[in-house]
Amino acid sequence: MPIQREYGAEHPFWKAGPFKIRLPFIHYRWEFPEMVQGLFMFVVSLGMIPLLMKYLAMPYEAALAFCVIAGIGYLLPALMGVPLVPGWITPAIPVVLLYLQNFEPGPEAVRAMFALQVEVFIIFLVLGLTGLGNKLVTLIPNSLKSGIIIGAGIAAMMGELKTGGRIDATPISLLIGSIVSAYILFSLSFKHIVETNRFAKIISNFGMIPGMLIAMAIGWAVSEYPLPDIEWGITQPDFALMMNYLVYTTGMPSTEMFLLAIPTAIIAYVIAFGDILVGFALCKRVDHLRQDEVIELDVTRVHIVTALRNGLHALLAPWPGLAGPLWTAAHATVAERYALGRKAMDSIYSGGGTFWITGLIAVFMLPLVSVFKPVLPIALSLTLVLTAYICIMVGMEELKNSAERGVAGIVAVTLAMPDAKATVYAVVIGLTLYWLIERPNAAQRSKRDLSIIADDTASIEAGDEHGQALKKPNS
């Protein structure tokens, strides 16, 4: 029987420095719906295997061992007191792949990936401990941030649509899967149906899973993917073979690699910080609905835990997806169930904890892994297509005026270019255009805003005086 939480209190934990340790069955109960979701959605994490095989030249068995390391990292947030369901820094994947194109697949690419992941680890750790994360993101021009996000979305979409991309090999399953997933996740008409239809509401709770399963079924039906050869037993990730793809074997990166990785690492952090804000917003919304539990949102702890996960990857499993603070689709699904009340989900930590513990266990379930093995590319493709939609939507929403939209558009197009150094060019061009085009406008806007504030203040004061004059005859 887990330790019971008093009504309106924070969920029980063991204090461990800056962390708050929570264990299943001791501090929180096992959530059956999240277990079911974990048994299906874990396949998205396996979607990184095709990238590991292509860009790091790894065999499947070693890539599967990398997925086990990633699975251990996914457990850390719920274990250490972070209420967000973690995942990759998904919008940064196209940018990371552009960076990796500078290097030969194999040992050289492994060293380059290690350099990038170490820098992401350092950024999260330093900015988390010093509290400078908020300030850094504030200093970056809005047009540059939005351009990076939009450009990452365009690059993700073009990677699927380009000649020789997955759209050529599997057009039917990819298009139908993308349409179904987008309709369930983003359609206004479907949201209206969810309000009145119980079955539609159940489907909506599973996020991208329905679209993914439909895409897989269609891929098998039209022979775009081979039928699975179902095996029984336990998977056998090759941890010995995995060692050949770590820096202990390949050697340390060169100084040039570390320098070339800096722009990509900064871009990844900017995107990840946006994910933190989104995750916190989702938590605050359901925290308001659930008076029985106080959800603690600690920016420093999120930074430190995300840093530890990236450090784990750098040392044991360099990961093109990087370690991000939020898997938006999974966290939104957990938050929606949490909002239904304590009977539906005891704690926000029990939902996220159950989800990824199940996901790690599923990696060792050979029947499940063997069923999904032929269709792993479709899981990655759907993730990137949906990420492209979200990136472009969010990036466009953040732009305030025509000057910002123009600069962001140039940054986005530059970032999406099929050039290994597009990331560096995009940052340099974005900063240059900001100073040449936006900076004078910013100064003028500041003067105009001050003038408006002064006029409003004068009007308010005049109104107050008029109000007082009206009151005097009645006194």
Select from 34, 148, 205, 76 the least CA-distant residue to 404. Answer: 148
Strand pairing partners for 19?
Answer: 16
Does residue 83 or residue 165 have the better pLDDT? Answer: 83
Assigned domain for 430 exists:
no
Select from 136, 88, 128, 130 the least CA-distant residue to 307. Answer: 128
19-21 and 14-16 strand pairing:
antiparallel
> Is 473's pLDDT higher than 70?
no
Contact between 170 and 219 under an 8 Å Cβ cutoff? The reply is yes
Select from 181, 222, 86 the least CA-distant residue to 381. Answer: 181
> Is 453's pLDDT higher than 90?
no
Neighbouring CB atoms inside 10 A of 104's CB total 10
Confidence at residue 22, expressed as pLDDT on a 0 to 100 scale: 95
143-179 confidence digits (pLDDT tens): 888 888 888 788 878 877 777 767 777 889 989 998 9
Mean pLDDT lowest among 228-232, 438-442, 443-447: 443-447
Confidence at residue 137, expressed as pLDDT on a 0 to 100 scale: 65
Assigned domain for 459 exists:
no
Assigned domain for 427 exists:
no
Confidence at residue 445, expressed as pLDDT on a 0 to 100 scale: 52
Confidence at residue 421, expressed as pLDDT on a 0 to 100 scale: 72
Residues 283-292: what's their mean pLDDT? 86
Sole residue written with tokens 């406008």: 441
14-16 and 9-10 strand pairing:
unpaired
Assigned domain for 450 exists:
no
Q: Would you list the DSSP string of 181-242?
A: HHHHHH-HHHHHHHHH-HHHHHHHTTTTHHHHHHHHHHHHHTTSSPPP----SB----HHHH
Confidence at residue 440, expressed as pLDDT on a 0 to 100 scale: 64
Domains in the chain: how many in total?
Answer: 1
Q: 51-55 contacts: CB < 8 A, separation 24 or more?
A: 51/93, 51/97, 51/320, 51/321, 51/380, 52/320, 54/105, 55/97, 55/100, 55/105, 55/109, 55/113, 55/320
Assigned domain for 456 exists:
no
Which phi-psi region, left, alpha or beta, contains residue 303 (left: φ > 0; alpha: ψ -120 to 50)? Answer: alpha
Domain coverage including residue 293: 21-170+225-399
> 90: which 2 tokens?
């998904």
Q: Which residues, in sequence order, are CB contacts of 116 under 8 Å at separation 6+?
A: 96, 99, 261, 264, 265, 268, 322
Coil, helix or strand for 131?
coil
Assigned domain for 405 exists:
no
> Is 238's pLDDT higher than 90?
yes
> Is 450's pLDDT higher than 60?
no
* Spatial distance between the Cα atoms of 49 and 406, rounded to a whole number of angstroms: 37
* Spatial distance between the Cα atoms of 423 and 100, rounded to a whole number of angstroms: 11
Residues 5-33: what's their mean pLDDT? 91
Q: Which residues, in sequence order, are CB contacts of 63 under 8 Å at separation 6+?
A: 48, 49, 52, 53
pLDDT band at residue 451 under the 50/70/90 scheme: low
Q: Which residues, in sequence order, are CB contacts of 38 under 8 Å at separation 6+?
A: 354, 355, 356, 357, 358, 359, 361, 362
* Residues listed for the chain: 475
245-257 confidence digits (pLDDT tens): 999 999 999 999 9
> 190: which 2 tokens?
């479907």
Confidence at residue 441, expressed as pLDDT on a 0 to 100 scale: 56
Helix (H) or strand (E) holding 392: helix 376-398
Assigned domain for 89 exists:
yes
173-204 confidence digits (pLDDT tens): 989 998 998 888 888 888 888 888 888 887 87
Coil, helix or strand for 81?
coil
End-to-end CA distance of the chain: 68
Confidence at residue 355, expressed as pLDDT on a 0 to 100 scale: 93
Contact between 46 and 369 under an 8 Å Cβ cutoff? The reply is yes
Helix (H) or strand (E) holding 20: strand 19-21
> Is 470's pLDDT higher than 70?
no
Farthest-apart Cα atoms in the chain, separation? 91
Mean pLDDT lowest among 24-38, 77-91, 327-341, 449-463: 449-463
Crossing angle of helices 107-130 and 93-100, rounded to 10°: 140
If you ran DSSP here, which 8-state letter would residue 437 be given?
Answer: I
Assigned domain for 260 exists:
yes
Does residue 449 or residue 367 have the better pLDDT? Answer: 367
